[in-house]
Structure 1
Amino acid sequence: MTVEGVYLLEQLQTPALVVSRGQVRFANSAAQGLLGAHIIGQDVRIAIRDPKAVAAILSDTGGLAQVTGLSTGGSVWEVDCRALSPTDRLVSLYDLSERVSVAKSHADFVANASHELRTPLANVLGYVETLLNPKAGGDETVRNRFLGTIRHEAQRMQALIGDLMSLSRIEAVKHEVPSDQIDLVALAHEVVGEFRSGGQVSVTANCTDAVIAGDRGQLSQVLRNLIDNALKYGKPGGAVMVSVEAASTGWVLVSVQDEGEGIPPEHLPRITERFYRADTSRSRAAGGTGLGLSIVKHIVERHRGRFDVESRLGAGTTASLMLPLKEV
Structure 2
Amino acid sequence: MRWYEVRPVRFVLIGVALVGPTAAILLSLLLAGHVEAGVALPALLVNVVVAVAILRMIQTDTRRLTDYAEVLGEASAPVPPPELDSITAEFIASAMARAQQAWLDRESKDAGRAGLFEAVIDQLHDPVILLGPGREVRRANQAACRMFGDRLLDRDLASSVRTPSLLEATDAVLAGGASRSVDVLLPVPVERTLQARVKPFRTPGEEGPLLVLLTLHDITMLKRAEQMRADFVANASHELRTPLAALIGFIETLRGPAKDDPAAHERFLAIMFDQSNRMSRLVNDLLSLSRIEMDEHSPPTEQVDVAKIVRNVAATLELRAASRKVKLRLDLADLLPPVVGDEDQLSQVFQNLIDNAIKYGKEQTEVTIALTAPVGSKAGAVRGPAVMVAVTDRGDGIARTHLPRLTERFYRVDPARSRALGGTGLGLAIVKHIVNRHRGRLIIDSEVGKGSTFTVILPAVKGVATKREAG
Question: With structure 2 as the length reference, what TM-score do the two structures score?
Answer: 0.48
**Secondary structure, aligned partner of 1:320:** strand
Aligned to 2:276: 154
Aligned to 1:239: 366
Where do residues 1-328 of structure 1 align in structure 2 (5 Å cutoff)? 11=135, 107=230, 110-133=233-256, 135-197=257-319, 198=322, 200-249=327-376, 250-328=385-463
Q: Are 2:352 and 2:427, in contact at CA under 8 Å, matched by a contact in 1? A: yes
Coordinate RMSD, CA, aligned: 2.9
**Secondary structure, aligned partner of 1:219:** helix
Q: Which amino acid aligns with 1:187?
A: I
May I ask how many residue pairs the two structures share in their alignment? 242
Q: Are 1:184 and 1:212, in contact at CA under 8 Å, matched by a contact in 2? A: yes
**Residue 111 of structure 1: how far off its partner (Å):** 1.8
Q: Are 1:268 and 1:309, in contact at CA under 8 Å, matched by a contact in 2? A: yes
**Residue 238 of structure 1: how far off its partner (Å):** 2.2
Q: Which amino acid aligns with 1:117?
A: L
Change (3 A) 1:164 1:107: same
Change (3 A) 1:164 1:104: closer
**Residue 104 of structure 1: how far off its partner (Å):** 7.6
Q: Could you list the runs of 5+ residues in structure 2 that have no partner in the other structure?
A: 1-131, 137-157, 165-219, 377-384, 464-471
Change (3 A) 1:165 1:105: closer
**Secondary structure, aligned partner of 1:265:** coil
2:406 and 2:343 map into 1 onto residues whose CA distance is: 25
Larger strand percent: 1
1:215 and 1:177 map into 2 onto residues whose CA distance is: 9
Q: Are 1:185 and 1:210, in contact at CA under 8 Å, matched by a contact in 2? A: no
1:167 and 1:298 map into 2 onto residues whose CA distance is: 8
1:200 and 1:127 map into 2 onto residues whose CA distance is: 38
**Comparing 180-189 with 149-158, which one deviates more in the overlay?**
180-189
**Secondary structure, aligned partner of 1:266:** coil
Larger helix percent: 2
1:237 and 1:152 map into 2 onto residues whose CA distance is: 27
Q: Which amino acid aligns with 2:247?
A: V
Q: Are 1:185 and 1:208, in contact at CA under 8 Å, matched by a contact in 2? A: no
Q: Which amino acid aligns with 1:280?
A: P
**Residue 275 of structure 1: how far off its partner (Å):** 0.9
**Residue 283 of structure 1: how far off its partner (Å):** 0.7
**Residue 105 of structure 1: how far off its partner (Å):** 8.0
Q: Which amino acid aligns with 2:238?
A: H
**Residue 166 of structure 1: how far off its partner (Å):** 0.6
**Secondary structure, aligned partner of 2:425:** coil
**Secondary structure, aligned partner of 1:275:** coil
1:270 and 1:142 map into 2 onto residues whose CA distance is: 40
1:307 and 1:11 map into 2 onto residues whose CA distance is: 39
**Residue 247 of structure 1: how far off its partner (Å):** 2.2
Change (3 A) 1:261 1:178: same
Question: With structure 1 as the length reference, what TM-score do the two structures score?
Answer: 0.67
Change (3 A) 1:305 1:268: same
Q: Which amino acid aligns with 1:137?
A: K
Q: Deviations over 1:160-181 (max 9, x none)?
A: 0110111111122112221221
Q: Deviations over 1:20-72 (max 9, x none)?
A: xxxxxxxxx89xx97xxxxxxxxxxxxxxxxxxxxxxxxxxxxxxxxxxxxxx
Identity %: 45
1:279 and 1:287 map into 2 onto residues whose CA distance is: 12
Q: Are 1:186 and 1:209, in contact at CA under 8 Å, matched by a contact in 2? A: no
Q: Are 2:313 and 2:347, in contact at CA under 8 Å, matched by a contact in 1? A: yes
**Secondary structure, aligned partner of 1:281:** helix
1:275 and 1:325 map into 2 onto residues whose CA distance is: 31
Q: Deviations over 1:95-137 (max 9, x none)?
A: xxx9xx977886455323211011111111110111112x413
Change (3 A) 1:170 1:105: closer
**Residue 274 of structure 1: how far off its partner (Å):** 0.7
Q: Which amino acid aligns with 1:205?
A: L
**Secondary structure, aligned partner of 2:402:** helix
1:171 and 1:108 map into 2 onto residues whose CA distance is: 12
